[in-house]
């Protein structure tokens, strides 16, 4: 299969009638797959109403089919197509955060593919804040199921190159609008509980949600890895580079000691760090991931940084830990998944 590549280089003027968007939307209408950019990561889109189309997502990604997908819409009116009903307090969330990186879990309406919702009675839905994504969804005139456009378990794609590295020849097309902005997936909020529950942390923080709707809980699975996660994308190991990754919660001196111990064993070592600390380490490959003083830069660069470790044959990877507050909670959540929860704490 040859993957068609549509470049959208003028986001200010992209519409549902743009030739690249029209061609990509035709594929979606034919129950084919199209990768497209959002403000978080690139998604792998399919008609959310078609079992045939959704099954192709799982096949292309190598993703377990018991892992539900997020449904993307372009207008609030599309909610009535896929959601049965929702309480009045949802509207202030939509008004504040849509379009944007907030996914809402709500009771689903019949008509969606059961593969897209993994047979659950709920559906995860969001409106992406990206002109190319919105134009594509509007042109297709369909709700679009779209997990991240990568091979299952690999770091999520924040550029078209990442998508092509993983899926070229496995999918019919990709809309290329350059790198994404936020870099980590949307916050997922379960709105079916008495007190809403964050199932996956993202750029929209607990504090921001509580400013709009009051009390919000954090899913026990985020606090205790023995609990079973309910959120899309959080049930299995994700984001992992080729070499085993360990998070180090300690000083840069302690991290450097760990690097030296591995090098004495003739191991090739990589380290994920920030601009502030990058010159301190003696690792074979040092990947700078944003600024510690601005964790949003770390979130934006995280997946690209993890992929950079695959450019060389490395044996061991270490990553600095980050404060698990605000967007830092999302960063640590993704790093822990990438490291299979391996973490060393300095005593």
pLDDT digits (tens, 9 = 90+) for 206-259: 999 999 999 999 998 886 644 444 455 544 557 889 999 999 999 999 999 999
Phi, psi dihedral angles at 323 (to 5 degrees): -60, 130
Provide the pLDDT for residue 232: 54
Is 278 known as a binding-site position?
no
CATH 3.90.870.10 fits 4-192, yes or no: yes
Question: Model confidence over 267-290: pLDDT tens digits?
Answer: 999 999 999 999 999 999 999 999
Number of neighbours of residue 10 by Cβ within 10 angstroms: 10
The answer to whether 317 and 270 have CB atoms below 8 angstroms apart is yes
> What per-residue confidence (pLDDT) applies to 334?
95
Whole-angstrom Cα distance, residue 174 to residue 191?
A: 32
Q: Is 72 annotated as a binding residue?
A: yes
To the question of whether residue 63 is assigned a binding role by annotation, the answer is yes
What local confidence, expressed as pLDDT, does residue 227 receive?
42
Identify the three-state secondary structure at position 272. Answer: strand
pLDDT of 67 reads: 82
DSSP classification of residue 266 = T
Determine the Cα–Cα distance for residues 74 and 142; give it in Å rounded to an integer.
9
Instruction: Say whether 292 counts as a known binding-site residue.
Output: no
Q: What is the pLDDT of residue 294?
A: 97
CATH number for domain 245-345, candidates 1.10.260.40, 3.40.50.11030, 3.30.1360.200, 3.40.50.300: 3.40.50.11030
DSSP lists the bridge partners of residue 198 as 189, 218
Q: 146 among the known binding-site residues?
A: yes
67 marked as binding residue: yes
What per-residue confidence (pLDDT) applies to 64?
77
**Annotated binding residue at 170?**
no
17 known ligand binder: no
List, run by run, the mean pLDDT of 10-residue segments along the chain (347 residues).
Answer: 95 96 98 98 98 97 87 96 92 98 97 95 97 98 97 95 97 97 96 95 97 95 56 61 96 98 98 97 98 97 97 97 95 94 94
User: Among 114, 125, 142, 109, which residue's Cα sits nearest to residue 72?
Assistant: 125
Q: Helix count (H) and strand count (E) of the chain? A: 11, 16
* Calpha distance 62→161 (Å, rounded): 19
Of 300, 280, 303, nearest to 290 by C-alpha is: 300
Percentage, residues of the chain above pLDDT 90: 90
To the question of whether residue 122 is assigned a binding role by annotation, the answer is: yes
The residue ranges of every structural domain in the chain are 4-192, 245-345
Q: How far apart are CA 165 and CA 150, in angstroms?
A: 9
117 is in an annotated binding site: no
pTM: 0.93
């Amino acid at each position: 299969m040859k993957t068609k590549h549509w470049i959208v280089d003028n986001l200010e003027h992209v519409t549902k009638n743009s030739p690249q968007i029209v061609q990509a939307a035709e594929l979606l209408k034919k129950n084919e797959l199209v990768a497209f950019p959002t403000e978080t990561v690139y998604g792998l889109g399919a008609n959310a109403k078609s079992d045939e189309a959704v099954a192709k997502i799982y096949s292309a990604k190598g993703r377990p089919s018991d892992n539900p997908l997020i449904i993307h819409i372009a207008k609030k009116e599309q909610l009535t197509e896929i959601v049965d009903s929702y309480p009045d307090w949802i509207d202030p969330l939509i008004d504040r955060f849509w379009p944007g990186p907030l996914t809402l879990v709500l009771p689903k309406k019949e008509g969606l593919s059961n593969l897209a919702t993994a047979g659950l009675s709920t559906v995860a839905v969001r409106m992406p804040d990206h002109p190319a994504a919105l134009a594509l969804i509007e042109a297709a005139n369909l709700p679009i199921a779209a997990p991240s456009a990568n091979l299952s378990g690999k770091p999520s794609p924040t550029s078209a190159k990442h998508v092509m590295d993983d899926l070229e020849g496995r999918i019919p097309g990709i809309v290329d609008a350059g790198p994404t902005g936020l870099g980590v997936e949307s916050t997922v909020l379960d709105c079916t509980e008495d007190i809403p529950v964050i199932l996956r942390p993202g750029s929209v923080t607990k504090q921001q949600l509580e400013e709009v709707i009051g009390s919000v809980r954090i899913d026990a699975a985020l606090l205790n890895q023995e609990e079973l996660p309910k959120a899309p994308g959080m049930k299995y190991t994700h984001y992992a580079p080729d070499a085993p990754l360990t998070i180090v919660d300690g000083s840069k001196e302690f991290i450097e000691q760990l690097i030296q111990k591995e090098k004495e064993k003739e191991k090739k070592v990589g380290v994920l760090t920030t601009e502030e600390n990058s010159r301190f380490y003696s690792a074979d490959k040092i990947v700078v991931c944003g600024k510690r003083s601005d964790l949003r830069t770390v979130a934006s660069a995280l997946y690209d940084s993890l992929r950079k470790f695959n450019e060389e044959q490395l044996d061991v990877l270490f990553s600095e830990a980050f404060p698990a507050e605000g967007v830092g909670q999302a960063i640590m959540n993704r790093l822990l998944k990438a490291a299979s929860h391996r973490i060393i704490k300095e005593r």
